[in-house]
């Protein structure tokens, strides 16, 4: 089917919530994807930090194949080994409590918000400006962006957003606060590292007032920043965290992970989801985490991130470079990031993303090497120059 035929079908039959790029992707391998005409693109976006191990990583593909031929679904009325093993793996690699499975980042945050309200009934949720937590009503209520919230008012009551600073968070958190929810590094907001003193202040304020500190690691998790979980590098341990995106190695799965204090807060019947923790996605996630949780790979991610950021700083026309590990954002001196994304695709066969009018975000596979980084830098330099 031609691209124009796909576009005709979309216009006629798909609710228009997405603005798609004019390319049909038919295959992926490692850092590369191919369109229907055989053109190869360098993918520095990973489906927005989903295919962190590259496209079709052999370990993930093998796990999915094996599990899909054995058992695809039974519901959470039964036990399956992949889900129980994955819960053990997630807990032991992070906060040491228990896990609730779901199917996406927004759902993981919904579960976290219910956990917080269950722990402190009627309590307020504090989030920070510039953050992004998803588009379902609870997650959207914590996503303090006028453009995303306003058309859907009224939102869930009991949410407030403050600046991501130590002072603002300390002032906002009190006896009525059930939780503070924030990203260690804001991704959709343009790759802004949350200041360590703001995280420390949030930890202190939550401890003082018996509130839950919840980190949204949907984008920062699964090795993206050069540690399996970004909180590990921040020096602050949250009471709970949410993960999704890269967890399933390319398949949809999310999870809420708690520390011990909150692990038994949600009780039978409090929450659930038909597909959550299904055997195929859980098997995929076990394979993905097995490959990702490797100190040598994490060191490599930190080094590659340094190389990429240093190279970007050398490019005339690049104004500011931010990020950690392979979660990188940079601003263009002369703006028009959306235009650069289109030109990147057409002229350089490069997949990048704009988070604002002047900001480009890079979320490359963690498995790239120096040669790919240098190749990427060359393509970006050529784009920024014109």
Report the catalytic residues. 132, 216, 245
Give the residue, chosen from 132, 229, 231, 330, that forms a contact with ligand PLP under the rule CB under 6 A: 132
**What is the chain's length?**
386
Q: Which is nearer to ligand PLP, 100 or 384 (CB)?
A: 100
Q: Is 186 left (phi over 0), alpha (psi -120 to 50) or beta?
A: beta
82 vs 248 by CB, closer to ligand PLP: 248
Binding mask 9-48 for ligand PLP (x = CB under 6 A): ---------------------------------------x
Q: Does 110 bind ligand PLP (CB under 6 A)?
A: no
Of 60-68, 104-112, 151-159, 367-375, which segment contacts ligand PLP by CB under 6 A?
Answer: 104-112
Q: Is 249 in the site for ligand PLP (CB under 6 A)?
A: no
Residue 102 contacts ligand PLP per CB under 6 A:
no
Q: Count of H helices and E strands in the chain?
A: 14, 17
CA dist 32 and 331 (Å) reads: 25
User: Is 101 an interacting residue with respect to ligand PLP (CB under 6 A)?
Assistant: no
Binding-site member from 106, 202, 214, 384 for ligand PLP (CB under 6 A): 106
Binding-site member from 183, 203, 231, 288 for ligand PLP (CB under 6 A): 183
Kindly state whether residue 188 participates in binding ligand PLP, applying the rule CB under 6 A: yes
Partners of 186 in the β-ladder: 192
Per CB under 6 A, the segment of 19-27, 69-77, 132-140, 172-180 that binds ligand PLP is 132-140
Return the range that interacts with ligand PLP (CB under 6 A); candidates 98-106, 273-281, 355-363, 364-372. 98-106
| Maximal CA-CA distance, the chain | 60
Q: Which of residues 206-225 bind ligand PLP (CB under 6 A)?
A: 216, 218-219
**Single residue of 28, 97, 123, 187 touching ligand PLP by CB under 6 A:** 187
Please, which residue, 300 or 361, has the CB nearer to ligand PLP? 361
**280: helix, coil or strand?**
helix
Query: Three-state SS for 186?
Result: strand
Residue pair 324/342 in contact by the 8 Å Cβ criterion: no
Q: Where are the beta strands (DSSP E) in the chain?
A: 25-29, 32-35, 40-43, 96-102, 124-128, 159-162, 177-182, 185-186, 192-193, 212-216, 240-243, 254-259, 318-324, 327-332, 350-351, 353-354, 359-362
Per-residue b or e along 200-219, where b marks 16 or more CB atoms closer than 10 Å to that residue's CB? ebbbbbbeebebbbbbbbbb
Q: Which is nearer to ligand PLP, 132 or 229 (CB)?
A: 132
* Residues found near ligand PLP in the complex (CB under 6 A): 48, 104-106, 109, 132-134, 183, 187-188, 216, 218-219, 244
């Amino acid at each position: 089917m031609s691209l124009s035929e796909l576009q005709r079908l979309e216009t006629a039959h798909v609710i228009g919530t997405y603005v798609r790029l004019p390319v049909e992707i038919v295959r992926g391998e490692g850092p590369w994807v191919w369109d229907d005409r055989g053109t190869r693109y360098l993918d520095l976006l990973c489906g927005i930090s989903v295919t962190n191990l590259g496209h079709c990583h052999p370990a993930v593909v093998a796990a999915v194949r094996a599990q899909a031929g054995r058992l695809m679904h039974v519901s959470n009325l039964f036990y399956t080994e992949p889900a129980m093993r994955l819960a053990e793996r997630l807990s032991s690699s992070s906060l040491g409590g228990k896990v609730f499975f779901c199917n996406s980042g927004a759902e993981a945050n919904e579960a976290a918000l219910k956990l917080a309200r269950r722990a402190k009934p009627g309590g307020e949720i504090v989030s920070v400006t510039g953050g992004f937590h998803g588009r379902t009503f609870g997650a959207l209520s914590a996503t303090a962006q006028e453009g995303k919230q306003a058309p859907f008012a009224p939102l869930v009551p009991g949410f407030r957003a403050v600046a991501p600073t130590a002072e603002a968070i300390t002032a906002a958190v009190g006896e009525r606060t059930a939780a503070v929810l924030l990203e260690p590094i804001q991704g959709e907001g343009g790759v802004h590292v949350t200041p360590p003193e703001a995280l420390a202040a949030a930890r202190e304020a939550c401890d003082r007032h018996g509130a839950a500190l919840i980190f949204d690691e949907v984008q920062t998790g699964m090795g993206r920043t050069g540690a399996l979980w970004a909180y590990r590098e921040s020096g602050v341990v949250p009471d709970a965290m949410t993960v999704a995106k890269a967890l399933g190695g390319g398949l949809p799965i999310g999870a809420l992970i708690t520390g011990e204090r909150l692990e038994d807060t949600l009780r039978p019947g409090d929450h659930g989801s038909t597909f959550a923790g299904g055997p195929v996605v859980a098997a995929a996630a076990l394979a993905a985490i097995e490959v990702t949780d490797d100190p040598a790979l994490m060191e490599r991610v930190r080094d590659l991130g340094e190389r990429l950021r240093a190279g970007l700083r050398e490019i005339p026309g690049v104004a500011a470079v931010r990020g950690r590990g392979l979660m990188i954002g940079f601003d263009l001196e002369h703006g028009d990031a959306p235009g650069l994304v289109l030109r990147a695709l057409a002229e350089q066969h490069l997949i990048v993303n704009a988070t604002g009018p002047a900001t480009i975000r890079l979320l490359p596979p963690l498995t790239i090497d120096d040669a790919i980084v240098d190749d990427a830098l060359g393509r970006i330099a050529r784009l920024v120059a014109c």
